[in-house]
Amino acid sequence: MACSILHDPHVTFKVWIHKHRSRYRKSSPSPCANFSSRPIAVAILSLLVEFIRGHLMKKLPHRLYRIACSICHNLLCYQTKHKIRLDFDWKQLWSALLSLLQFVLNLDSNVLSPALGLELMQKILEIFNFCILHGDSFLQAADVYDDLYYELIRMHGLFENVYEHGLSHSTSMHPELKLLAANVVLQVGNIRSIVNHFNAKIAAFTAANSLSSLTENQVLAVVRENYDSLTLRVHETLDIPDEYLEQTDDPLFDTLVDTVVKQTRKDCLDTSLELQSFFHELSVIH
């Protein structure tokens, strides 16, 4: 029922999402200029993108990132099941997830334990695998699917490093760590197949046309022409939504709700005091 309301095109909301400032993104002169009404699921996905981008810190809030990835995965499961194609910029999500994957991979083991790092990597890779295997059910058009493959090919070095990282822990003496590493290696398998398949096609096209490098459009053209010969592994449980872990998630959500309530009360009080001061000044003037 909840997911139905979130995706209902007739039940739209205007949600103003604060966007983290960075030197890589030009700030809009009018934040509300494109403040349009849309299904709440789009706002949630946009919020997830901003959260992922805005909290890449040494003391990584890995539990929140795990929940964020689970929320994203569950939304995609619903969209796939009901063939819902949201008007959403999926490249923003992929870019954010790639940044997170790179950040987690580079974190020192003294900051984030290998087990927690591998667990988060697995969740990120599951989302990419979901988009690869089920993207035709929820992405708006074929060219969006092409863009996904382009990003995977472009970031092939990152995925190869993730694969090597998983392999390095796959012989661990700790059963939990060994299992997580095996899952990461399994999840990155399709991406490596895509990279190897299309890189060979790109190399052949480059040689046949005596080119030193290809433009983005040329790479996309090679991708479109060579889908049929690509072989991927099917992950049968990917479209099953993540379960809510009451024992571990309840305390975290209780803390979050308590923090939000306290901050909201404080903000309301501060606003009230400011208004009282403002009206007092007006009364003095008049």
Structural domain contains residue 186: yes
Could you state, in chain order, the average pLDDT of each consecutive group of 10 residues for the chain (286 residues)? 84 79 53 66 95 91 93 96 95 97 93 95 98 96 96 98 97 95 97 98 96 94 96 91 74 75 76 68 60
Q: How many domains in the chain?
A: 1
254 in any annotated domain: no
Max intra-chain CA distance, the chain = 83
Residue 278, in any domain of the structure: no
The whole-number pLDDT of residue 143 equals: 95
- Asked if the structure places residue 216 within a domain, the reply is yes
Whether residue 99 lies inside any domain: the answer is: yes
The reported pLDDT for the residue numbered 2 is 73
Indicate whether 201 belongs to any domain: yes
286 in a domain, yes or no? no
| Per-residue tokens: 173 | 């003496």
**Distance (Å, whole) CA 79 – CA 75:** 6
Structure tokens at 198: 């299309």
The pTM of the full predicted model, rounded to 2 decimals, is 0.85
The range of the structural domain enclosing residue 57 comes to 2-25+34-242
Is residue 271 one of the residues assigned to a domain? no
